Amino acid sequence: MLEKFIGKYIDFPKILISFVNGPAVGISVSTLALFDGVYASSNATFSLPFTRTAQSAEGCSSFLFPQLMGSLHAKELLLFDKKLTAQQAQQRGLVTQVIDDKQFESEKDKICQEILSLPKGSLLTSKALIQKWNKQQLHQVNLHETEVLKQRWLTEEFLQAMMDFMRNRKKK
Amino acid sequence: MNNKLEESNDDKSSSSAEHIQLLKKSPAHWEIALNRPEKYNAITQPMYEKIIEILDQAAQDKQLVLLTFTGRGKFYSAGTDLVDFAKMAVRL
């Protein structure tokens, strides 16, 4: 199911924009590099707790994040559970623009209107062109990432992490 | 936190797709909103399935140009619902 879900983003032929209105975690962050635009509220944060939950990278992030922000910055997120502010995420190329939270809804409408004012055929053709050179590789990355992740789910380490998670949750 | 209350919410969520809102703002613009603010918009299996269904419809729609994603409430999304997932994992 996960492979299919990510695959839909890789192939998606329309303009795909994310408006990150607040904190974002896990798959909601790892898939952002597959979007055409990411607009973040100043209240947004970005984190990928893959290793803390004894899992591994998904959403093509093992491939796209190092490309996007450089290897060491990507490893801070993918390996060491670093949480980014909206500003930091923009500096690392994961966010198009940071918008003050008070203006978020009105700016959101403006950005959508601007995109919708562009010639539709050209917009979608150009997106397809940009997608074309990476698509095959991204599907390969997706397949491998999800296979590795399925193996992780069978490990003692993962079961322990899940049991700890459930135990901590019950204490609250 | 009241666990009993949480459990009943979980059960409800696993059988409904209302946590994914599809807003057709115009023929050219649809919006998907994660609408489970009480769980920080964590994504369950049925929610994943609903998003896949919408992405398929959107890809094929002749008039659609723009699909936007957002979260309702203070969170964008907490990612995969680990409670949903942990129950399944512990059973594996």
- Cβ pair B89:A162 closer than 8 A: yes
On chain B, the residues whose CB falls within 8 A of the CB of A43 are: 74
Q: What distance in Å separates residue A72's CA from the closest CA in chain B?
A: 23
Where exactly are the structural domains of chain A? 2-171
Q: Give the DSSP per-residue string, B57-73.
A: HHHH-SS--EEEEEESS
| Residue A167's pLDDT band (cuts 50, 70, 90) | confident
At residue B89, does pLDDT exceed 80?
A: no
Strand partners, A166: none
Q: What distance in Å separates residue A21's CA from the closest CA in chain B?
A: 5
Q: How many domains does chain B have?
A: 1
Angle at B71 between CA A172 and CA A67, to 5 degrees: 100
Work out the widest C-alpha separation in chain B, in whole angstroms. Answer: 47
Please tell me the predicted confidence (pLDDT) of residue B4. Answer: 38
Q: Give B90 or A87, the one with higher predicted confidence.
A: A87
Whichever domain contains B61, its CATH number is: 3.90.226.10
Q: What distance in Å separates residue A5's CA from the closest CA in chain B?
A: 6
Please tell me the predicted confidence (pLDDT) of residue B90. Answer: 61
CA distance A56 to A151: 10
pLDDT in tens, A98-143: 999 999 999 999 999 999 999 999 999 999 999 999 999 999 999 9
pTM summary value = 0.90
Q: What distance in Å separates residue B1's CA from the closest CA in chain A?
A: 6
pLDDT in tens, B65-81: 999 999 999 999 999 99
At residue B7, does pLDDT exceed 50?
A: no
- The two beta strands, A37-41 and A15-20, are parallel
At residue B8, does pLDDT exceed 60?
A: no
Angle at A59 between CA A57 and CA A64, to 5 degrees: 85
On chain A, the residues whose CB falls within 8 A of the CB of B1 are: 169, 172
On chain A, the residues whose CB falls within 8 A of the CB of B20 are: none
Candidates B1, B49, B79; nearest CB to A28: B79
Residue B46: which domain range? 3-91
On chain B, the residues whose CB falls within 8 A of the CB of A35 are: 69
On chain A, the residues whose CB falls within 8 A of the CB of B62 are: none
Q: Give B89 or A78, the one with higher predicted confidence.
A: A78
> Testing the interface with A: which of B66, B72, B88 to mutate, by most A Cβ within 10 A?
B66
Instruction: Determine whether A132 is exposed, middle or buried from the number of CB atoms within 10 Å of its CB (0-12, 13-18, 19+).
Output: exposed
Candidates A15, A21, A115; nearest CB to B76: A21
At residue A95, does pLDDT exceed 50?
A: yes
| Residue A171's pLDDT band (cuts 50, 70, 90) | low
Instruction: Considering only CA atoms, give the Rg of chain B.
Output: 15
- Cβ pair A16:B78 closer than 8 A: no
Class of A2-171 per CATH?
alpha beta
- Cβ pair A4:B52 closer than 8 A: yes
What is the average per-residue pLDDT within A1-17? 97
